[in-house]
Amino acid sequence: MNFSDFSALESRLGYRFANHSLLVEALTHRSCIKPYNNERLEFLGDAVLDLLVGEYLFERFPKYDEGKLSKMRSSLVNEKSFADFARDVGIGEMLRLSSSEEHNHGRQKDSLLSNAFEAVIGAIYRESGLERAREIVYRILAEHYPNMQMQDLTIDYKTALQEITQERFAKLPIYELLSQSGPDHQKQFTMQISINGEVYAVGQGNSKKSAQQACAKIAYEKLKAPSVQKAQKSENPQNENVARENLKGENLKAQNAKLAKVDSATKNTARENLRGKNITRENLKKENLKNGNLKNENLKNENPADKPNTPKRAPKIHRIDSGDFTQKQKSMPQKPREVQKSTSQKPAPSASHEPNASKTPRPQRAPYKPARQKPSTPKTPNTRTQTTPHKKGDR
């Protein structure tokens, strides 16, 4: 590629590069097999554009607060707006791409065009500084947005148009696809919008959504025009009140329908819960009755012969060895044997004591046997003294 081929691009930019190698690097995609690409200049140009666009909005709208300025900058500093700037300048025709990317229509991709635009601004800043880059960016913004307003950047025309049509006509806009043309990678869709049976606008776009937005923007601007508003008010001055009443009625109906659905759902769930509880209780009762009947039947049908013969527990028998018994017997104190006293007759009473000695003698009584008495053992203290048996050989 000759450097003379960049003259058309430089004239659209309003800047002549002294070092064309910077411009070549800014237009070279990484898919192209070269030792350089535009990613580093893209990084630099992104920061420069963020600063310059914020500065432009700050000077253009001195009464806007930080929130509004941030929204406007975010709507300008993005891939879509930078791709539009690149198409206006003609960067897509000068891109250096690989054959595969060329076959995939890389020159029409927003991502490639946006990156190349940032890289070109970075190259200008690198060669001539911030002041020269500021002049070029300010001029591009003024040409692309001659009457820049916040609503032009941040407004969603479909939702805004829907609010107006509900307020004035109590109806929603209807979008209709008229035609689509072009190859698959670059199709064009044509849509029309009708409100209350009347066609308001026809728009085109590279997608259905963009075509709907174009239609909605045209219809919104028509309805917001003061002449249209006056004409609608003069035709039917009570139109707005009727539309508002209709909207209120529709909203009330929708709310009542939702409440009815919720009530019916809650009632159904409560009934199902009660049914489930009753069913569970009945099942438990049936199971308990079945278990009781089965137990009774089992008890009746039981056969004593079927029962296992469990042996009775034998009484415990304490066995004592003969050796232990003899030792215990020896260790126990033995009672002394009592000597039986011979029965002796009492001496006959003397004659001095018996007054009537001549009388017949009385029969003699059996001898008195005294009761056995325990041998008297000496009193010992509470501690029992046990006599140990003598072993053989101790004596």
Residue 73 or 1, more confident: 73
Average pLDDT of the segment spanning 282-290: 73
Average pLDDT of the segment spanning 185-211: 86
Residue 351 or 127, more confident: 127
The model's confidence at residue 307, banded by pLDDT at 50, 70 and 90, is low
Which pLDDT score, from 0 to 100, does residue 3 have?
52
- If we measure between CA atoms, which residue out of 148, 183, 181, 169 comes closest to residue 75? 148
Which residue carries 């229509």 as its tokens?
105
Length of the chain counted residue by residue: 395
Which pLDDT score, from 0 to 100, does residue 344 have?
47
Average pLDDT of the segment spanning 195-220: 87
Average pLDDT of the segment spanning 100-127: 91
Average pLDDT of the segment spanning 353-359: 51
For the whole model, what pTM was predicted? 0.49
Q: What is the mean pLDDT of the chain?
A: 76
96: left (phi > 0), else alpha (psi -120 to 50), else beta?
beta
Beta bridge partners of residue 174, listed in sequence order: 194
Name the residues annotated as catalytic: 46, 118
Distance (Å, whole) CA 162 – CA 200 = 13
Burial annotation 18-35 (CB, 10 A radius, 16+ → b, else e): eebebbbbbbbbebbeee
Distance (Å, whole) CA 64 – CA 57 = 9
Alpha carbon separation from 238 to 242, 262, 337 (Å, rounded): 6, 36, 145
Average pLDDT of the segment spanning 87-106: 88
Q: What is the pLDDT of residues 244-276, one digit of tens each?
A: 565 566 666 776 776 676 667 676 776 777 676
Average pLDDT of the segment spanning 113-128: 94
Q: What is the pLDDT of residues 17-61, one digit of tens each?
A: 999 999 999 999 998 888 889 999 999 999 999 999 999 999 999
Which pLDDT score, from 0 to 100, does residue 395 have?
47
Contacts of 361 (CB under 8 A, 6+ apart): none
Q: Does domain 6-150 have CATH number 1.10.10.10?
A: no
Which pLDDT score, from 0 to 100, does residue 132 have?
94
- Please tell me the least confidently modeled range out of 71-75, 104-108, 163-167, 345-349: 345-349
What does CATH list as the number for 157-224? Answer: 3.30.160.20
Alpha helices in the chain (DSSP H): 7-13, 20-26, 39-60, 66-76, 79-89, 99-103, 110-128, 130-144, 150-154, 157-168, 208-224, 226-235, 239-301, 322-331
Delimit the domains of the chain by residue range. 6-150, 157-224
Average pLDDT of the segment spanning 318-333: 55
Q: Determine what percent of the chain is predicted with pLDDT higher than 70.
A: 59
